[in-house]
């Protein structure tokens, strides 16, 4: 049982080697922390709740509680019982309905509101979290939301600043992504049951759909670090789907289980020092050996997410003539030799491991060809929608994080005798953030629904334009929210760490979203060109 102390017990620890403080009726022995944080000596033996909340956010207590708390005040009332982890189903689960879609099962939503969830700050979560009805989400989504949120809040969020500064997310977190079935759920296809024994605890494979996938990425992004999300799914989310969709069965059977388990890592190697969004001009070369059994690969790849950690590289290579019809995709294995990787220093997403890759005479068996020779452009294009949607999901949640942090801070910080929230200029900033977030998110939900209702090639054709437009919308929304949050936090978001730490980090991460996966300029132009092309096929009349 937790120990209880009287206020007098605490007061007797106001000096000497073992200072104690009270925060929210809990008692902390801060002796091991006082050298690092000398200000604690000033409040030793006292209730320091007010000072504490002035200078910190919840993350600090989550991180240090286990280490420093020794008990509670004897006057503290027992906390109310925590809510059940997942709301009970409102009605019997609907039978899964097979569809022609790439995710073969679409559990229909009930259209009824789910139980309210989270802190209920308006617009800080999607509206279906807050008791509003949705046609897309049912109790299985609500259960997954809770499962992921608990994991992120307890094991990830308190440490992301440390990991970002160290430029590395610990390996056990990636391993848990495998064991929790999350890697398997993030492929943009059916849940790959045959290739992994791991399952997502709260959703059975036959019910898994694209809204579960969206929600998983959304909740991971709530930690407020692009580096974290890219470290966990940046390479995998774009490097693995081409293998699963276009790889030959023996190759997939051999390597996919290790990848899904979180034991082996994979990334996508397309961009080169001289070729970014114009993938048709790639130069990394793969020459077939005379016996026709191997390709010999030579060339360089730049800005490759997770490259330094990766065992496998899903790589775009030139096997034929110039232009898009001479490209192929090869799965290159690091252990073949001739692959070297070095970390690049970048503006943002520090813990994601952005990498410069060099291939020197790497011998790749022809069995590792993904798709057909010289038809790699199709493989690359098919992947883009999935990648861009992933970027959109993250950008919307990062925008919400900027908004939520600002809203909380605006309720505690006072200037000119008023809380920030009582200044109309600050409310205006929050309102502009909220309207952009909701517009972007509602378009995203619609696109996810369309993807789920269409066969993959149809989706690639019909939705490519809209997804490109949405990608640009989401990165501009994110940039705007990071900027406005930064203005609200002032100096606190200019220095790293502390209360404005998430904002400072996310501001640095913005360009990592606005440039890769198709820059804003290219996306906006494509959104028009592609949509006009498709709609003229539909019989558009101008």
Stretch of 100-108, 167-175, 451-459, 492-500 lying at the interface with ligand HEM (CB under 6 A): 492-500
Stretch of 36-44, 185-193, 315-323, 413-421 lying at the interface with ligand HEM (CB under 6 A): 36-44
CB 68 within 8 A of CB 30: yes
For the window 51-90, what string marks contact with ligand HEM as x by the rule CB under 6 A? xx--xx---x---x---x----------------------
Give whichever of 94 and 498 is closer to ligand HEM, judged by the CB atom.
498
Minimum distance, C-beta of residue 7 to ligand HEM, in the bound complex (Å): 16
In order of 375, 534, 540, the CA distances from 461 in angstroms are 17, 7, 16
Give whichever of 320 and 497 is closer to ligand HEM, judged by the CB atom.
497
Stretch of 48-56, 80-88, 164-172, 306-314 lying at the interface with ligand HEM (CB under 6 A): 48-56
Question: How far is Cα 14 from Cα 19, in angstroms, rounded to an integer?
Answer: 5
Among 3, 12, 39, 431, binds ligand HEM (CB under 6 A): 39
> Using CB under 6 A, which residues numbered 6 to 35 contact ligand HEM?
21, 23, 28, 30
Alpha helices in 369-423 (DSSP H): 376-412
Minimum distance, C-beta of residue 402 to ligand HEM, in the bound complex (Å): 17
Question: How far is Cα 433 from Cα 430, in angstroms, rounded to an integer?
Answer: 5
CB 539 within 8 A of CB 518: no
Minimum distance, C-beta of residue 50 to ligand HEM, in the bound complex (Å): 9
Minimum distance, C-beta of residue 6 to ligand HEM, in the bound complex (Å): 19
Question: How far is Cα 507 from Cα 228, in angstroms, rounded to an integer?
Answer: 15
Count of residues that bind ligand HEM according to CB under 6 A: 21
At 227, which helix (H) or strand (E)? helix 226-229
37 contacts ligand HEM (rule: CB under 6 A): yes
Residue given tokens 């073992």 in the structure block: 18
Give whichever of 42 and 254 is closer to ligand HEM, judged by the CB atom.
42
488 contacts ligand HEM (rule: CB under 6 A): no
Cβ neighbour number for residue 86 with a 10 Å cutoff: 18
Question: How far is Cα 389 from Cα 440, in angstroms, rounded to an integer?
Answer: 12
In order of 90, 91, 136, 449, 466, the CA distances from 111 in angstroms are 11, 12, 7, 14, 25
Minimum distance, C-beta of residue 65 to ligand HEM, in the bound complex (Å): 8
Query: 17 — phi, psi (to 5°)?
Result: -80, -15
> Using CB under 6 A, which residues numbered 387 to 426 contact ligand HEM?
none
> Using CB under 6 A, which residues numbered 279 to 338 contact ligand HEM?
none
Residue given tokens 């999300």 in the structure block: 229
Bridge-based pairing state of the strands 414-415 and 266-269: unpaired
Question: Among candidates 307, 300, 370, 367, which has minimal Cα distance to 334?
Answer: 307
CB 326 within 8 A of CB 253: no
Looking at residue 180, the DSSP 8-state letter turns out to be: T
Stretch of 40-48, 148-156, 313-321, 509-517 lying at the interface with ligand HEM (CB under 6 A): 40-48
Q: Which residues contact 428 (CB under 8 A, 6 or more apart)?
A: none
Query: Cβ-count burial of 179 within 10 angstroms (0-12 exposed, 13-18 middle, 19+ buried)?
Result: middle
Among 10, 22, 27, 43, binds ligand HEM (CB under 6 A): 43
Query: 533 — phi, psi (to 5°)?
Result: -60, -45
497 contacts ligand HEM (rule: CB under 6 A): yes
159 contacts ligand HEM (rule: CB under 6 A): no
498 contacts ligand HEM (rule: CB under 6 A): yes
Minimum distance, C-beta of residue 67 to ligand HEM, in the bound complex (Å): 8
41 contacts ligand HEM (rule: CB under 6 A): no
Chain CA centroid to CA 476, Å: 17
- Cα end-to-end span (Å), the chain: 75
Query: Cβ-count burial of 31 within 10 angstroms (0-12 exposed, 13-18 middle, 19+ buried)?
Result: middle
113 contacts ligand HEM (rule: CB under 6 A): no
Give whichever of 63 and 419 is closer to ligand HEM, judged by the CB atom.
63
Minimum distance, C-beta of residue 351 to ligand HEM, in the bound complex (Å): 17
Minimum distance, C-beta of residue 534 to ligand HEM, in the bound complex (Å): 49
Minimum distance, C-beta of residue 221 to ligand HEM, in the bound complex (Å): 20
Query: For residue 35, how many C-alpha atoms fall within 13 Å in the half-sphere facing its CB?
Result: 2
Stretch of 42-50, 171-179, 410-418, 470-478 lying at the interface with ligand HEM (CB under 6 A): 42-50
Stretch of 183-191, 309-317, 427-435, 491-499 lying at the interface with ligand HEM (CB under 6 A): 491-499
Question: How far is Cα 179 from Cα 169, in angstroms, rounded to an integer?
Answer: 17
Give whichever of 47 and 285 is closer to ligand HEM, judged by the CB atom.
47
Residue 228 bridge partners (DSSP): none
Give whichever of 42 and 427 is closer to ligand HEM, judged by the CB atom.
42
Minimum distance, C-beta of residue 230 to ligand HEM, in the bound complex (Å): 23
Query: Which spans of this chain sit near ligand HEM (rule: CB under 6 A)?
Result: 21, 23, 28, 30, 37, 39-40, 42-43, 48, 51-52, 55-56, 60, 64, 68, 492, 497-499
């Amino acid at each position: 049982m937790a120990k209880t102390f009287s206020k007098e017990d605490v007061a007797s620890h106001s000096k000497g080697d073992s200072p104690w403080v009270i925060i929210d009726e809990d008692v902390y022995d801060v002796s091991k922390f006082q050298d690092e944080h000398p200000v604690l000596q000033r409040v030793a033996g006292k209730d320091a709740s007010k000072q504490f909340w002035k200078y910190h956010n919840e993350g600090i207590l989550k991180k240090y509680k286990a280490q420093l708390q020794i008990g509670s005040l004897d006057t503290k009332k027992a906390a109310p019982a925590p809510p059940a982890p997942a709301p009970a189903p409102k009605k019997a689960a609907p039978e899964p309905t097979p569809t022609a879609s790439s995710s073969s099962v679409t559990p229909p939503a009930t259209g009824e509101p789910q139980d309210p969830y989270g802190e209920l700050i308006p617009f800080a979560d999607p509206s279906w979290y807050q008791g509003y009805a949705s046609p897309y989400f049912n109790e299985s989504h609500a259960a997954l939301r809770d499962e992921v949120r608990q994991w992120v809040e307890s094991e990830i969020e308190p440490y992301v600043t440390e990991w970002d500064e160290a430029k590395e997310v610990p390996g056990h977190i990636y391993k848990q992504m495998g064991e929790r079935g999350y890697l398997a759920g993030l492929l943009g296809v059916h849940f790959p049951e045959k290739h992994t024994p791991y399952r997502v605890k709260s959703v059975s494979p036959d019910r898994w759909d694209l809204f579960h996938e969206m929600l998983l990425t959304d909740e991971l992004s709530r930690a407020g670090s692009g580096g974290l999300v890219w470290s966990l799914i940046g390479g995998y989310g774009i490097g693995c789907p081409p293998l699963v969709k276009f790889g030959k069965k023996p190759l997939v059977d051999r390597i996919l289980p290790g990848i899904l388990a979180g034991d082996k890592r994979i990334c996508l190697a397309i961009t080169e020092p001289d070729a970014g969004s114009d993938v048709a001009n790639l130069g990394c070369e793969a020459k077939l050996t005379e016996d026709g059994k191997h390709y010999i690969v030579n060339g360089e790849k730049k800005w490759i997410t997770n490259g330094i950690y990766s065992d496998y590289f899903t790589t775009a290579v030139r096997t034929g003539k110039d232009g898009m019809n001479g490209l192929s995709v090869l799965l290159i294995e690091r252990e073949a030799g001739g692959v070297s990787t070095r970390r690049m220093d970048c503006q943002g997403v520090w813990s994601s491991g952005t990498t410069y890759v060099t291939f020197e005479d790497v011998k790749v068996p022809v069995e590792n060809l993904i798709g057909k020779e010289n038809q790699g452009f199709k493989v690359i294009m098919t992947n883009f929608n999935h990648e861009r949607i992933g970027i959109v999901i993250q950008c919307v949640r990062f925008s919400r994080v900027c908004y939520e942090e600002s809203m909380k801070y605006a309720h505690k910080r006072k200037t000119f005798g008023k809380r920030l929230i009582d200044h109309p200029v600050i409310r205006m900033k929050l309102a502009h953030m909220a309207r952009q977030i909701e517009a972007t998110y509602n378009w995203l939900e619609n696109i996810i629904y369309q993807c789920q209702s269409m066969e993959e090639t149809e989706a690639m054709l019909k939705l490519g334009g809209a997804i490109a437009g949405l990608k640009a919308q989401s990165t501009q929304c994110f940039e705007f929210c990071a900027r406005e949050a930064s203005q609200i936090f002032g100096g606190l978001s200019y220095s790293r760490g502390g209360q404005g730490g998430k904002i400072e980090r996310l501001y640095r991460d913005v360009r990592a979203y606005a440039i890769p996966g198709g820059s804003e300029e290219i996306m906006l132009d494509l959104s028009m060109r592609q949509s006009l092309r498709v709609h003229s096929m539909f019989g558009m009349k101008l």
